[in-house]
Amino acid sequence: MGIIYQTDKRAGITYAYENKAYWDKDKKQSRAKRTLLGRVDPDTGEIIPTSGSRKQANVKKEETLNPDYKALYEDLLKKYTAMEALNSALQSEIKKLKEKLPND
């Protein structure tokens, strides 16, 4: 286990990864699993943690544990009002189209 530094040539940013080696029994070869630690500050050489997808998933979990019910209610109320307006507009359009059809 060690830390690997890899530079992105397009952006010129150096990233730090944690490297864990393991033995692949099927291929009978050594393999490595890398986990992103963060960006490397070019001035100090310090590793700055990045906001990866795993961290964002954890934030979403915390939000669902303590939901803001008032905001959820207001959001649903806006959607409901918009759907009602759309429904009434479509109903009036259907009436207009039925009036234009010739009676059999």
Per-residue pLDDT of the chain (104 residues; tens, 9 = 90+): 789 999 989 989 999 999 999 999 999 999 999 999 999 998 898 999 887 655 555 556 665 677 788 989 999 999 999 999 999 999 999 999 998 888 75
Is 58 part of any domain? no
pLDDT at 60: 60
Same domain, 44 and 71: no
C-beta separation of 21 from 5 below 8 A: no
The pLDDT of residue 64 is 63
In this structure, the answer to whether residues 45 and 72 fall within a common structural domain is no
Residue 17 lies in a domain: yes
Residue 55 in any domain: the answer is no
Structural domain including 14 reads 1-50
Among left, alpha and beta (phi > 0; psi -120 to 50; other), residue 42 is alpha
Co-location of 44 and 84 in the same domain: no
Task: Write out pLDDT tens, residues 31-49.
Answer: 999 999 999 998 898 999 8
Closest CA to 32 of 49, 15, 17: 17
Does 79 lie in the same domain as 46?
A: no
Q: Domain total for the chain? A: 2
Domain assignment present for residue 57? The answer is no
Phi-psi region of 10 (alpha: psi -120 to 50; beta: other; left: phi over 0): alpha
Q: Quick one: pLDDT at residue 73?
A: 93
